[in-house]
């Protein structure tokens, strides 16, 4: 469902830009939470590939962080 919404927002923004309107904001950061071995990293990599395929990211790079990287 989230990917479908992302694609729809991209389509809306494309139309808005063609009409000279300001595009809608589209935050792309995501947190994938869960126990070890549940596919978080695989999902994050696929998300990066989807963003690259949509032309949102130029290289599809995904920056992986551990919880300790986000603290304090």
pLDDT at 1: 59
What average pLDDT does this structure show over 57-65?
80
62 or 45, greater pLDDT: 45
Please, where are the H alpha helices in 1-72?
A: 2-18, 40-53, 67-70
CB atoms near residue 48 (< 10 Å): 19
> pLDDT band at residue 64, thresholds of 50, 70 and 90?
confident
């Amino acid at each position: 469902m989230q990917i479908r919404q992302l694609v729809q927002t991209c389509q809306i923004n494309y139309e808005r830009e063609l009409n000279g309107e300001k595009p809608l904001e589209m935050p792309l950061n995501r947190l994938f939470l869960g126990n070890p071995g549940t596919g978080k990293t695989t999902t994050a990599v696929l998300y990066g590939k989807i963003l690259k395929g949509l032309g949102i990211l130029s290289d599809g790079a995904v920056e992986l962080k551990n919880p300790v990287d986000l603290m304090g």
